[in-house]
Chains A and B, each alone.
Chain A
């Protein structure tokens, strides 16, 4: 989803910078607040940030014959709400833009908007919706990871389409073209990321159960009361 350095026209770079900056500043404040007021959550916060750092560096093969990388922003969105990931995601993007020539400083605003802002919010939105509907937590975490990954790539497709609309079919035609490059490749990777999320949270529940409860990652009230009978009926 990294739009390469200098690919977007200067005006659009500026617009995306302007759109992303408030989210990132707000996110940075939230990160500082989290560290100050909840020092007991520092390890979880570092885990969430490191997930993005790790997963966005790994390019995996996909069914389409191309390769792409996950985003890993869903973990932090579920644990600490999306604003925190706006800041963490930007740190990762700056690292990659400066050291790896992957993405870019001019396109940082656009890339931050897709990976660090829209991705985590869409993932968190589905996670919250699932909880509201009383769905199982595992489904919520899967959806958060899956959607934050896929949504990021969809936003990138539209950003490129807005910059380079098709002469015949316009922005939508171009969006279709870029989605063709990104979205289908990303589906198996997003599913894998969702499964990885369940694995990670399984471990987190084992070692930091009370902290997760305090952060609001808990089982919906219905399943909590029914926990014992449900357990029995499944065994």
Chain B
């Protein structure tokens, strides 16, 4: 297999830490700027989804159907956590398996190389 070039090259070890740092900067920066901009108001970091629903209702929307099951705030956050847990569980299971298979392939390859001269 040819080596992946550019930012995907495994040899460029600096890429991962730099990108993780960039993610942290965006997260912390958003948190700080967002807090400063909403300081004084009652609730900061309201979901855009609920803000849009509010705006639609101000514009005359009248919900004609209500959710069949509406969890309380505490239960809802737990259910969101379960969703995230299932998602990350599947992702890391798959990534782990692919990583294990690659190790297997490499091991098979290197043991082939070792045994080849002996058998021939």
Taking Cβ atoms with an 8 Å cutoff, the residues of A that contact B are 1-10, 43-44, 46-47, 49-55, 57-68, 95-102, 104-106, 136-138, 153, 156-157, 160, 163-164, 166, 174, 177-178, 181-182, 185-186, 188-189, 191-192, 195-196, 198-199, 201-210, 213, 219, 223-224, 227, 230-231
Contacts and interface: CB of A to CB of B under 8 A. Distances in A.
Interface residues of B, number: 70
Contacts of A99: 69, 71, 79
Interface in B47-80: 47-53, 55-57, 59-61, 63-71, 76, 79-80
Contacts of A7: 53, 56-57, 61, 63
A41 to B, nearest CB: 11
B67 A206 contact: no
B19 interface: yes
Interface of B: 1-10, 15-16, 19-20, 22-23, 26-27, 29-31, 33-35, 37-38, 41, 44-53, 55-57, 59-61, 63-71, 76, 79-80, 83-84, 86-91, 94-95, 97-99, 101-102
A110 B44 CA distance: 28
Contacts of A1: 49
Given A50-B88, A67-B47, 20 more contacts: A7-B53, A7-B57, A43-B97, A44-B98, A54-B84, A54-B91, A57-B84, A62-B48, A65-B35, A65-B37, A65-B44, A67-B46, A104-B65, A106-B65, A181-B55, A191-B26, A198-B7, A199-B16, A206-B10, A227-B5
